[in-house]
Amino acid sequence: MNKTSQKIPDKAQQEVNNGLLFQFLLSDFIEAHEESRKLTLIGGDAEEEIQAALLKLLGGSQSGLSTFWSFADGLLNKLHGHALLLLETSEQYEKELLALHYYIDKIRMACSHALNALKTDARTELRSALDKALIGMQRLSKLIPRMIQQFKDDENVIFFLLRHKTQFDRIYGNRFVQKTLGRMFPKGLHEVRQLLAQKYLNRGFDNLLQLIDSTLSALDDCK
């Protein structure tokens, strides 16, 4: 058999890679957003939890404002890295990704300032820095739904959205996933099921059909 005939066309392969990168980005975003919620804590052992959240966001080797981003640790570093890779491989999401980079830098700087304020017990500076980090996360969060809708034909991204309904609804409010899918698939969940089933069957993943059906059924029950 001609080996050339077995190769995936460059464009198709790039679309697959972009979908995978976007899933990594979404996973990083969910984790970073969850940690950022802890920055609103007050009283009791709040400062210890805030410090732990800041270190998880920045990474154990955080050193302030380095322009080099490492995948070694730090949720913001990982999020930035995956967004950068996606930007390098596609111009389709350039506007959103550039804005995402901007807000990640703002959040990281604010978190660094907050960590320093914690160490020096500077309460006013701490609250100001945490507020800036939270505002940055809110603005960053607004970019994600617009990007999701650009992956309508990517079965992996759609299935990721379905499987992480709880986390997305926690971030954006109840029924976010249903509403998002409704905009992407006007014919309803039947259209979603048809896309997922066809794409995964074509790839030989017929073992996923039962999980797809149960996931969609659970989503339908939430209406």
Q: State how far the alpha carbon of 166 is from the alpha carbons of 136, 171, 173, in Å.
A: 23, 9, 10
User: Which band of pLDDT confidence, cut at 50, 70 and 90, is reported for residue 138?
Assistant: very high
pLDDT score for 90: 76
Judge if 101 and 175 occupy the same domain. no
Domain-located, residue 3: no
pLDDT score for 88: 87
Q: Please state, in angstroms and rounded to a whole number, the distance separating the CA atoms of residues 144 and 22.
A: 10
Segment 130-158 shows an average pLDDT of 94
Q: Mean pLDDT lowest for which of 52-56, 184-188, 215-219?
A: 215-219
* Residue pair 37/57 in contact by the 8 Å Cβ criterion: no
Phi, psi of 63 (to 5 degrees): -135, 30
| End-of-domain residue from the set 116, 151, 186 | 151
Segment 85-98 shows an average pLDDT of 85
* Residue pair 169/176 in contact by the 8 Å Cβ criterion: yes
| End-of-domain residue from the set 151, 176, 201 | 151
Domain limits for position 45: 12-151
pLDDT tens digits, residue range 157-200?
999 999 999 999 999 999 999 999 999 999 999 999 999 999 99
Q: Please state, in angstroms and rounded to a whole number, the distance separating the CA atoms of residues 198 and 191.
A: 11
Q: Please state, in angstroms and rounded to a whole number, the distance separating the CA atoms of residues 139 and 113.
A: 19
- Residue 203 in tokens: 């790839």
Judge if 61 and 115 occupy the same domain. yes
Predicted TM-score (pTM) of this structure:
0.84
